[in-house]
Amino acid sequence: MKKTLNLVKIGGNIIDDETKLNQFLEDFAQIPGLKILVHGGGKTATEMSSNLGLETTMVNGLRITDAETLRVVTMVYGGLINKTIVAKLQAQECNAIGFTGADANLIPASKRAAGKYDFGYAGDIIPGVIRGEKIAFFLDNGLVPVFAPLTHDKAGSLLNTNADTIASALAIALSEQYETRLYYCFEKNGVLSDMKDEDSVMEELTLEKYRAIKHEGLISKGMLPKLDNAFKALLAGVSSVVICHAEEIGNVLVHHKKTGTELKNNS
């Protein structure tokens, strides 16, 4: 029987709030068994870019990364945010270790080809290249990997890569060794049927229904990468995917309460 692995992705809006981040990390540290944390970037990179006179451009929730912006996100994501999270988890006696995709060649990627938009130094993860057994080495030796949203092109350059995509790709790669459960945690209570109503949480969302509401434009642009990656993971063998509020991660994984939106592959 495979061991269970809980892979949790935390969004930038929680990272930006120190009180909420501290509470989340305290809850995350209490999750029993094998676990991985993937974090987004938050507003710090945008604020630092602004201070340096660099313009931030987003398309469908994704950042366009030129050479100067890459320098900023590398410092912020791979340095300040990642190591701060690791230090805070160590304070909770959770033996975390921080990574970018370049470390130990864990997440190679390719620079996204320019199409309708040129995303610059944005990385697309190459299917099948994540070596799950390398990550399993750290997990099986009592360490908790914490991944920043950065990959690399194997030619010396880091690449800014969507954290939702990294979480999905890691969950898929590790599903060969573990029963992998993926949790996307952010500042909403789940997937909303009405973007203006915070209480309109869908307890379940099928692929068929998602395709319909996506086509109708009923999903916010920022949610699209999250849901696309979530369903990709589900279709590729990840055992379960849940989207929930970051404040509920303890209730979900420590107290086993049902909350948020569970995705279903029954199109």
Q: Could you list the residues known to form a binding site for substrate, using ranges.
A: 41-42, 63, 160
Instruction: Outline where DSSP puts E strands in 101-219.
Output: 109-111, 123-125, 144-147, 150-152, 158-160, 178-186, 204-206
Distances (CA, A) of 265 to 30, 39, 198, 237: 30, 25, 25, 10
E strands, the chain, in order: 3-10, 34-39, 58-59, 62-63, 96-99, 109-111, 123-125, 144-147, 150-152, 158-160, 178-186, 204-206, 240-245, 261-264
φ and ψ at 212, to 5 degrees?
Answer: -70, -50
Distance CA 147, CA 43 (A): 18
Known binding-site positions: 41-42, 63, 160
Q: What's the one-letter identity of residue 236?
A: A
Dist. CA 64–CA 257, nearest whole Å? 38
Q: Please answer whether residues 149 and 162 qualify as being in contact, where contact means their C-beta atoms are separated by less than 8 angstroms.
A: yes
Residue 128: name the closest of 168, 172, 182, 161 by CA. 172
**Rounded to the nearest 10 degrees, how much is the dihedral formed by the CA atoms of 241, 11, 110, 106?**
-70
